[in-house]
Chains A and B, each alone.
Chain A
């Protein structure tokens, strides 16, 4: 997890002022519509979400046993299981495999976990070429940027941005989406055919069979698992599910949540390396089970729920904050509502304090989450952790505390409350601009740094109510 160099507030400022980005982000509404349409067409969609949730609860509650069974099955099939406590260990495992097998070129398929452990930088540091092969990821890699959306990594780029980038880096001369895609196809096909290792993530890993399931649209994952002689799949330990048949439930809701498709173009179920009588497929299969802060979330009775996440991206698309600032502003690999939970969840609240506060708690994320993660509740929980100073040293906020006490007192004493507010409503005049507070006095000023505060009404609701009744 890389550290954020800019504060969230600074990044959001820049994002909101970026007219191009604002235009790009408008397409998110399309995702939301497609998702809603897809669920409307699904018989018993709500029941399926309940079922998916129940399977994830079972998977995590029995995680110890499921991981052991998964390991046993992968080994039995002739694959190799590796365990990594953190990103550094996972990178070392991959580098070691690459060195021992004289790997020069690696093709990678979209995997948030490899972003999480900053694998590309490590591979390149070791003199190994790492090529992102998902079109969006490829664009982002060529531009030396990071993905800004789980499902659509290059959503922040316009067609012309891509055209200019391809002209500069690949010497192409077109700005038509179809032709740009063909340019990438040709460039990357050559890479696929000459790569020694393919690295993928895993959407699911089945304990009972040792199978990993990979969901995609472009075919780059199929190529990464079919052509290079070594396939390395990297997954967080939370991705394991108990049974093969559970996939029927998840496959019905995953693509619908992510892109509004009934089924994505390709789903690959890889069960061990190629068998002796097969013409293609990787000869070696390695599965890396990564912790990197996941056991830390597991430890917390509440945060554990965020481990059910399928990484579908639906909560990003509906989030009014994400819709306004895009993925980069979060400064973390995982952005949007779920990113604001798992980032501090895995790495500690200290460094990522801004993220849980970057939400209006409107609940739209919870509405669409295919496994019904109560994201707003988890954001509140993390805010609470921050205030309590969990995992970090925090200057005691004496003024804030005193203000809250005062507020609590007033709320419990209606008479005092009424008198105070009537008084405030009478004297507020000189501080108002266009009938609003542009700046609140004293320590309350923080509130108005980024927004106005409405003027106090001359007549309280109680008074209006009383008058109305009479």
Chain B
């Protein structure tokens, strides 16, 4: 056995990497700390995150969402939003349960009462059960209702953080995903988003364990490049913009 094999894989790989890159000056550690300006390819931001979105940004989001095969609906209040969801439920035949986040936006929506009224079964993440029971519920559900954290107007992308009460399966397992969006969550694009995320999280501590970008329903082109919607993820994506700000 040669001496080399006694070294651990880690040591050996790192030694080789060091030997091959030593001749070139690597950027200093300070460069890594420095937040990078990614502001290539954009005009000045139309709005800053947290501000109310102007009409043009909403219009752009609608255009892009429609382009990627999502349905965009503006609800003037939570009652209108619940009506829209009940409409989806009616199409689903009301056979399957609904799953949702346990989150302020879901509470604000009043969907718990609205669905009870409609006689539909609703499970919230955090409802009592065994640890994996919620996943099983999501797998049987017809509709999953989640909030979002940001929406990117220029690509029609929803940005969703995982966390307590925000099960990942809600936007993933049911064939229909309903996302509730608020106007102040809309930003123009990736640059704005990453400038916010970068400021929030210099290291992994500040980041959710899973951040998911969702751009339209799940899709594939693997059979003769024919676009088919609804592969492993949801077949339908409905984005409801809750227009009013509760007082």
Contacts and interface: CB of A to CB of B under 8 A. Distances in A.
Interface of A: 24, 27, 30-31, 42-45, 47-48, 51, 58, 60-65, 67-69, 73, 76-77, 83-85, 89, 133-136, 139, 152-155, 157-159, 162, 177-178, 180-182, 184-185, 188-189, 192-193, 207-211, 217-220, 222-223, 225-227, 237, 242-249, 251-252, 259, 261-275, 277-281, 289, 291, 295, 298-299, 304
Contacts of A24: 224
Interface string B145-158: 00000001011110
B13 A295 contact: yes
Given A210-B204, A217-B219, A279 B125 contact: yes
B18 A272 contact: no
A135 B190 contact: no
A238 to B, nearest CB: 10
B14 interface: yes
B31 interface: yes
Contacts of A133: 232
B198 A63 contact: no
B110 to A, nearest CB: 23
Interface of B: 8-10, 12-14, 16-21, 24-27, 29, 31-32, 35-36, 38, 40-43, 64, 68, 125-126, 131, 134-135, 139, 152, 154-157, 162-169, 172, 190-191, 193-195, 197-198, 201-204, 207-226, 228, 230-234
Nearest to B126: A279
Contact of A244 (B10, B14, B198): B198
B36 A278 contact: no
Interface centre among A31, A84, A262 (most CB of B within 10 A): A262
9 contacts: A61-B24, A64-B18, A67-B14, A159-B224, A219-B231, A252-B190, A263-B157, A280-B135, A281-B168
A89 B219 contact: no
A223 B172 contact: yes
Interface centre among A158, A178, A227, A265 (most CB of B within 10 A): A265
Given A136-B222, A268-B210, A274-B209, A219 B32 contact: no
Contact of A44 (B41, B155, B169): B41
Contacts of A278: 162-164, 166-168, 209
Interface centre among B9, B126, B202 (most CB of A within 10 A): B9
A227 B204 CA distance: 22
A42 B42 CA distance: 9
**10 closest Cβ contacts across the A-B interface?**
A219-B233, A62-B26, A136-B222, A219-B232, A277-B164, A44-B41, A295-B16, A267-B213, A83-B10, A279-B167
Contact of A177 (B191, B204, B215, B224): B224
Contacts of A275: 163-164, 209
Nearest to A275: B209
A192 B232 CA distance: 10
Contacts of B223: 135, 139, 154, 157, 159, 162, 177, 180-181
Contacts of A249: 38, 40
Nearest to A45: B41
A226 B139 CA distance: 12
B41 A268 contact: no
B115 to A, nearest CB: 20
A262 B216 CA distance: 12
A181 B228 contact: yes
B108 to A, nearest CB: 21
Contact of A181 (B64, B195, B231): B231
Given A152-B222, A218-B219, 11 more contacts: A47-B40, A62-B27, A64-B18, A73-B204, A155-B225, A189-B232, A209-B204, A222-B172, A245-B197, A278-B166, A291-B9
Contact of B232 (A67, A185, A243): A185
Contact of B168 (A31, A226, A252): A226
Contacts of A31: 225
B1 to A, nearest CB: 15
Contacts of A252: 41, 190
Given A162-B223, A295-B17, A298-B16, A262 B155 contact: yes
